[in-house]
Structure 1
Amino acid sequence: MTTIRAIRGMNDILPDETDRWQYLERTVAEVLASYGYGEIRMPIVEQTALFRRSIGEVTDIVEKEMYSFDDRNGESLTLRPEGTAGCVRAAIQNSLLGTVQRLWYSGPMFRYERPQKGRQRQFHQIGAEVFGVPTPDIDAELILMTARLWRALGIDEHVELQLNSIGSSADRQAFRAALVSYLSEHQADLDEDSQRRLLTNPLRILDSKHPGTRALLQQAPVLTDYLDGESKADFARVCELLDAASVSYVVNPSLVRGLDYYNKTVFEWVTDRLGAQGTVCAGGRYDGLVQQLGGKPVPGIGFAMGKERLVLLLEALEALPAALPAADVYVVNSGGRAEIAAFAALESLRSALPGLRIVQHTGGGSFRSQLKKADKSGARWALIWGDDEVAAATVTVKPLREQGEAQATLPLADVAAFLLRSRTPDTTTEGS
C-alpha cells in the first residue's frame, strides 16, 4: 500500500522545532501588546471575490497562485493567500471601524508557488493592521514597533529597513504610463516575466532580479518624480519621526508592493543572511481598501512577517534560547500500589507547581529501563515511588543532571517545596 505523504510545500512542524516557533510567537505577542494591539482571528477560507477585489485581478497571486475551489453550493472559495483582506472584511462586517483599531493576527496562508527554503505553499504569517489614522505618525509607529521586535529577538543588527512612497493612485497611473512608454522601447531586452508584466502589472518589473532588466531600470523614470505634494510631505514626516527615534533606513525608489491596494508609504525589512528570500517583514499604507471592499472610507496601514523566514534567521544567527528538555521531572514507579500512589500525588504536585513539566512513565517496564528513559528525557530529577515509599508516604528524589547532589527520600508533603527551590536558585549572599 502506498504511504500517504504531506502535500508538497505544506510541511509538518515537529516537536523539536515548535519551541522555536513558540519563542518567536511569544515575543511578537508581547511586543504588539505593549503598543496596545489586540488579537483578531479570521477564517482560513474566504469568498474568492474578496481577494479578486482587494489584491487585483492581474496580480500573480490571483492569476496563478491562489487555492480556489467551488463548495457544494457552487460558491467559489479560496484558502487565504494573505491576511489583510480578511482583516478588513472582518472589521467591516463586525462594525469595528467607528473608532481607531489596532489589530494583529497569526496563522497559515496558502499560495501555489515553487517550494524553496523560506517559501512554502502553506506558510505562516504574523500581521498587524491599523484602521482610522490618516496621519503619517501611525506609519512611524508600525515601523518603530517592528524595530523593537528585532531588538527583542536579538537580530536588529542583521536587518535593514528600506522605505519608499508609491504615492496616490493618480501618481502611480502617471508613473505607470511613463514607465510603460520607456520599457516598451526596450521590450526585447526584458526578461520573460517582465515582458508579461509590462502588459499586466508593470510596477512589479521594478522588483525584477534579472541583471539585464535591472540595467534597463537604471535609466527608467523614477516614481518619486511623480508624487503629489501630500505624498511627499507624509513621507518626509515618516522619515523625520524615524530619525528622531534613531531608526536607520535606506530610501529605495524601486521598492513597490505586489498587491494593488497599497498607497503612499511602503516599507520592507530585509536581511542578507537568507539568500534570495531576504525580506522578513513588509507593509505599507492602503487608504482605499476599506471602501474598495464595501465599507465607508477609512484609512489603513499594516505589515506582515513570515514566521518561516524569521525562524530561519534566528537559527542562522544562533539567536534562539537554549532548547528546553521535554520534562523537568520524570516519574518512575514499581507498578501496582506505587503507580496508583504516584498518579494521585502528581496531580496535587501539578496544581502546586503550575508550569512544571512532569512526565509520568507509562507502559510498564523494569525499574532499570524506566530510569534509562528518565535520563533520556532530559529531566533534572527522577521521582521514584516503590512499596517502601507508599508505606511511609514519602518519595525518593534522584538527581539526573546535578553534580554533587545526593539522592534523598523526602516526605511527600515536602516535595513541592524542594522542586520549587531547585528551579529557583538562591540569589542571597552571605551577610545579607
Structure 2
Amino acid sequence: MSSSDFARSQKRLEDRGKDVLEKARQKIERERAVAARQAAREAAREEERRLRRVAQEAAEEQERLEHAAELEANNGVLYRAELVAVPAPQSIAADKGIKRAADKILLPPSAGASLMNQDAFKNGPMYFRLTNAAGNRTHAGLLEFSAAEGFIALPLKVIRSLWGPNATEEDCTGRLQVAYRRLPKGERTVFQPRSASFQQDVGEDIRGVLEAALLQHSCLTQGDWLSVPHGGQQYDLRICELHPEPAVSVIDTDLEAEINPSLETEEKIREEYEAAARRAAEAALATAAAAEKAEAEAAAAEQERLQREAYRLGKEQALPAEPPLGSAEPIVTCLFRFPNGSRHSRRFPLSSPLQLLFDFVDANGASSMAPGSYSLVTQYPRRVFSLQQRAGSTAEAAAAAAGEHEQPTLQIIGLTGPREVLFLEQQQQQDLSGNDSHALAA
C-alpha cells in the first residue's frame, strides 16, 4: 500500500470516528432535552397540586371562619340545608289565625329537630336566609315544621322576592339554600313605590297604610318588594335601604319609614334629563357648526381679500404713467367718486381705451366691489359705461364701421373733458334703471 492510499484510509477512519462521536453527542442532547421536558412537566404538575392544596386549605379556612362568624352572629345556632322549593298552601296561616304570615315558610320536621337541639328558640322568632340558583336572596320567618322532608314551602311574597315582583306560584321551582339567621330589630327603612299614583291615592294616610302592610310581615330584606293594599288595589314598594343591617326583624319594633320618589317619577326625570342633555348636545353641535362655518367664511373672506389685493396691486403696477400737466397730447381729467365717499382723480390721454379707467378704479380698490360688477356713470347727462355688456352706441357703431375691433378710446365715447366726474354703480342697479349703456365686452 502506498503512502497516499494509507493517508486516504486514515482519513476515512477519522471521518467515521467523528460521525460516531457526533451521533453520540446528538443522542445525549436529545435524551437531556427529553429529561428536561419530563422534569418541567412534573414540576408543573407538582405546582398545580400545590396550588390546589393551597386553594383547598384557603377554602377550608374561609369555611371555618364563616362557620365561626355564623355561630357568633346566630348566638351559637347553626342550620344549613338545601331544599326543594314548593308553594305553600295559603289556608294554613288563615286557619290558625296567624297575622304575620305573608313571609313565613314551612320547613321539614328534621329542621325543627336540629334547631330545637341547639335551643334556637332562645334567640326569639326564627328567621332564615333563602338563596335560589340565580343568586337571588331574601329572608323569611318560620310558620311551622310541617313541610315534607327535603322540601320548603314558600308563600307568594317570598316567591316574588326570589323570582321577581311579577312571579307566580308556577315560578316556584328548583332548590334553595336555606340558612338560619338571627336578625336585629329594624330601626329605619326607605321605600320606593313603583307607581307615581301611590302617594296621590293614599294621601295623608301613608303611615297607617304602611303599618297595616308591615303587620303582615315578620322581616324585611333590602331589595325586596313590599305589597301594600289600599282601596281595593295593590301597590308595590321596593325596599331601598334598611338599618341597622340589610335584613331586619319588624316584630315589636318602631320602624322609621321614608318614601322616595316613585320609579315612574325617576324614569320621567331621567327621560327629561336625557332630553335636556340631547338638546344641549345638539346646541353644542350647532354652535360648533356655526363657529366652523364662521371660521370657514372668515377664511374665505380673507382669501378673497388677498386675491382682490393681489388683483389691485397687479392693476396698480400695470397702469401707464400719468401724463404731466401741460402735455402736448390731448388729455382729460377724470374724478371718480366711490360709494364709500372717497375720491380719486387722474389725467388720461384721450387716446386711452375705456379699460384704463376701470383699471384705475380697480387699482384704488373700487370700494370693495368686484372687478366687472360695476359701471362708470356720468350724472349730467347720464351716461353708463360698462365692460360686461355690449350696447349699440353711435360711437361704437362708428368704431366698428372704421374697422376698429379694439375698445373705443375716451375721445370716441365722448369723455373729452377737460374734466369729467364719474360715479361707480353696481351692475344690478344700473340694469334696473332701464337706461341705455355705452358698453364693451371685456
* Greater RCO, CA 8 A, separation 6+: 1
TM-score higher than 0.5:
no
Q: TM-score, normalised by structure 2?
A: 0.19
